[in-house]
Amino acid sequence: MRLLVARCTVDYQGRLTAHLPEAVRLIMVKADGSVLVHADGGSYKPLNWMSPPCWVEERPSESEREGEGVTTWVVHNKAQERLTITVHEVIHDSQHDLGTDPGLVKDGVEAHLQKLLAEHVESFGPGWTLVRREFPTAIGPVDLLCRDADGSTVAVEIKRRGEIDGVEQLSRYLELLNRDPLLAPVSGVFAAQEIKPQAKTLAHDRGIRCLVVDYEELKGTSDSSLRLF
């Protein structure tokens, strides 16, 4: 990894056109050839970058700048995207061998929520039973397929954050499931830790019930953790 702190201007041309006026920035060149241009603020996203696979070409100084130590880098990839970095003044330049990274170990909340709800379907209402998790359909698996106290089929879609896309997804499942005479009529429940107003409106419009789940309380125990709307 090469770390270069330099006064520079940057231009990107590809999916859009972008320009950075002259200023001091960090230019990071990774072992795989990718390039990141960072400012001293903002969050983790660079001001400009080029993702691998890509190639750096160091051009000779532009004629009018000769003798001033100006260098231009052109980073390009297969898709004709082009990142042009003009270095006006080098403040720091160092190279480091980091080796390959062993990689990140994650433990998400997402799958856990489905597992918890599957283990507590009675929380949806008294007399509810689980038919199965990940119930297969032609367009993908339904998170939970249940039966309510009347024996009616209910498809449950679970998200951490409930947005319109999730309601669309559940709607597609419901349309398909309701074509099966052995299951129909199938109603829907949209369950999430948080449900956006627009998603709630759309769900309501389509006769889908919304359920806000309190993850911590559900993990703790019981039925008081759910609020039906």
Binding region for a copy of itself (CB under 8 A): 1, 3, 5, 15-26, 28, 30-32, 34, 36, 38-49, 51-52, 91-92, 94, 96-109, 138-140, 160, 164-165, 168, 172, 198, 201-202
Contact 196, 164 (CB under 8 A): yes
Write a three-state SS string for 33-63.
CCEEEECCCCCCCCCEEECCCEEEEEECCCH
Q: Which does 159 bind (CB under 5 to 8 A by kind): a copy of itself, DNA, none?
A: DNA
17-29 vs 209-213, strand pairing mode: unpaired
Q: Is 173 helix (H, G, I), strand (E, B) or coil?
A: helix
Of 36 and 70, the one with the shorter C-beta distance to a copy of itself is 36
Of 149 and 184, the one with the shorter C-beta distance to a copy of itself is 184
Nearest approach in angstroms of CB 20 to a copy of itself is 6
Q: What angle do CA 167, 169, 171 make, to 5 degrees?
A: 70
Interaction residues for DNA, span 178-217 (CB under 7 A): 196-198
Of 6 and 186, the one with the shorter C-beta distance to a copy of itself is 6
Nearest approach in angstroms of CB 149 to a copy of itself is 33
Q: Which does 196 bind (CB under 5 to 8 A by kind): DNA, a copy of itself, none?
A: DNA
Residue 8 tokens read as 């520079």
Report the C-alpha gap between 2 and 30 in whole angstroms: 7
Stretch near DNA under the rule CB under 7 A, chosen from 64-72, 118-126, 154-162, 213-221: 154-162
Contact 210, 193 (CB under 8 A): no
Please name the residues in contact with 120: beta carbons below 8 A apart, sequence gap of 6 or more.
Answer: 218, 222, 223
Among 27, 83, 121, 203, binds DNA (CB under 7 A): 83
Of 60 and 102, the one with the shorter C-beta distance to a copy of itself is 102
Of 122 and 163, the one with the shorter C-beta distance to DNA is 163
